[in-house]
């Protein structure tokens, strides 16, 4: 049994926008108060699609980390690191690639989708095909049991679970496993061992999920049981052998659809973003220029918020009273569009103010960011090495 741990990463895209803040970073800030969290820059992942243009990755990485810190990600609570600075990710990826059926990779839904979306790029590469496996290695190397994802990423987590299961099944049977299980059962005591075997039979023959939970609870009743024995009995229970890699679970995050300044989803590729630290004049200018309901040609033409791209922003930023004021004022032509936009402008500037302030310290002292990341790399590497020690041992790759 391993500690609870959250892992999440982002490709280095440079300055982040409010869509990233509402969709990901707010969630990270919440999670860092609930679990030990590891947040990383997936720079190797960037290379899977950007292999012909790697020059901007380093600069984009530092920019993005400043945005994380600006958004409230706290290095005292979470570990912030860069994937390529923990080379164990690459080693685990390589070792997992030896046992990963090609068909599993080709089946990942985003493989074909992305190839079609980025059709101007040659993505018939080994690295691109293998990126879900690199992602699985990123998760499994930290034995992270919780991965915050949106609905569309769930197949990737399921893929990582299958990889962990296959690995544990193939290599989790240490030499003398059956004898060691028998010894561990002796340590449980006759009554508990009998009960454990009954529950194991029920789980394995009838697939009763509550049986496994009860058997695990039974193991928890014996605090003197060593970690190794506990894992063996868990593996014996699930029929997977010793659990070397932990199967992660998706921590589903509600899709927060942050609208851009044209009403479509905020995205760099649509050119409709407001960056986290964009200056106030530019934010105000963009919002004041935003298109509105085309029916409101003159100030006294009534409109319909449902037909206006500003309305989704009110749904993100305004309270009920303000939204009622907009609905009434728009439909009766009681308010003008600039007047209607002002509460959104004010709310965005209010949201950004503490971010700009936090970022300033890091902009003025970039060495602080370097130190935070160096410390994060060190912590992450320590955890990764622990897993790799067990992985190498399971594969019999111990030369020391
Ligand atoms: S009043 Fe507001 S909701 Fe109505 S059209 Fe103008 S900006 Fe849009």
Instruction: List pLDDT tens digits, range 73-84.
Output: 999 999 999 999
Confidence check: pLDDT of 292 > 90: yes
pLDDT per residue over 182-234, tens digit each? 999 999 889 999 999 999 888 877 777 788 889 988 988 888 888 888 888 88
Mean pLDDT of the chain: 92
User: 15 vs 12, 96, 351, CA distance in Å?
Assistant: 9, 33, 16
Confidence check: pLDDT of 10 > 90: yes
How confident is the model over 386-400, as a mean pLDDT?
A: 89
pLDDT at 1: 57
Longest dimension (CA), the chain: 85
d(C-alpha 312, C-alpha 162), whole Å: 39
d(C-alpha 354, C-alpha 74), whole Å: 14
* CA 333 / ligand 1 centre spacing (Å): 9
pLDDT at 116: 76
Nearest to 16 by CA among 56, 57, 63, 80: 63
pLDDT per residue over 346-361, tens digit each? 999 999 999 999 999 9
pLDDT at 75: 97
Ligand 1, residues 259, 310, 338: which to mutate, most atoms within 8 A of Cβ? Answer: 310
Ligand 1, residues 311, 316, 322, 345: which to mutate, most atoms within 8 A of Cβ? Answer: 311
pLDDT per residue over 127-149, tens digit each? 999 999 999 999 999 999 999 99
Atom of ligand 1 nearest to the CA of 309: 8
pTM for the complete prediction? 0.84
Residues with CB under 6 A from ligand 1: 292-293, 296, 303, 305, 308, 310-311, 326, 330, 335, 337, 340-341
Alpha carbon nearest to ligand 1 atom 4, residue: 330
Nearest to 268 by CA among 82, 3, 1, 14: 14
């Amino acid at each position: 049994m391993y500690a609870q741990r959250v892992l999440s990463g982002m490709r280095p895209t440079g300055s982040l926008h409010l869509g990233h803040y509402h969709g990901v970073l707010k969630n990270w800030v919440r999670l860092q108060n609930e679990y030990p969290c590891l947040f990383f820059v997936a720079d190797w992942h960037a290379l899977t699609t950007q292999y012909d243009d790697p020059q901007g990755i380093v600069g984009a990485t530092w920019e993005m980390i400043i945005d994380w810190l600006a958004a409230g990600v706290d290095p005292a609570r979470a570990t912030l690191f860069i994937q390529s600075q923990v080379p164990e990710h690459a080693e685990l990826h390589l070792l997992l690639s030896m046992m990963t059926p090609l068909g599993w990779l080709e089946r990942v839904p985003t493989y074909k989708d992305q190839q079609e979306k980025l059709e101007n790029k040659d993505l018939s590469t080994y690295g691109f095909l293998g990126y879900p496996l690199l992602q699985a290695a990123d998760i499994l190397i930290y034995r992270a049991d919780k991965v915050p994802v949106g609905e569309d990423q769930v197949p990737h987590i399921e893929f990582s679970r299958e990889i962990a299961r296959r690995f544990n099944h193939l290599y989790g049977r240490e030499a003398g496993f059956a004898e060691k299980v028998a010894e561990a059962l002796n340590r449980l005591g006759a009554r508990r061992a009998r009960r454990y075997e009954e529950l194991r039979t029920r789980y394995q023959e009838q697939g009763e999920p509550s049986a496994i939970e009860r058997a695990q609870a039974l193991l928890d009743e014996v605090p003197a049981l060593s970690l190794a024995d506990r894992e063996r009995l868990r593996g014996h229970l699930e029929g997977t052998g010793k659990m070397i890699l932990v199967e992660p679970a998706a921590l589903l995050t509600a899709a927060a659809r942050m609208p851009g300044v044209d009403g479509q989803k905020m995205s760099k590729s649509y050119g409709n973003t407001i960056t986290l630290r964009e200056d106030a004049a530019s934010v105000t200018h963009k919002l004041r220029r935003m298109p509105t309901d085309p029916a409101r040609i003159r100030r006294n033409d009534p409109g319909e918020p449902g037909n206006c791209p500003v309305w989704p922003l009110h749904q993100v930023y305004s309270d009920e009273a303000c939204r009622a004021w907009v609905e009434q004022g728009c439909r009766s032509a009681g308010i003008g569009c600039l007047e209607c936009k002002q509460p959104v402008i004010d709310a965005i500037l209010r949201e950004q103010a503490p971010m700009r302030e936090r970022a300033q310290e890091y902009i003025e002292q970039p060495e602080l960011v370097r130190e935070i990341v160096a410390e994060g790399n060190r912590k992450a590497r320590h955890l990764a090495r622990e897993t790799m020690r067990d992985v190498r041992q399971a594969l019999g790759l111990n030369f020391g």
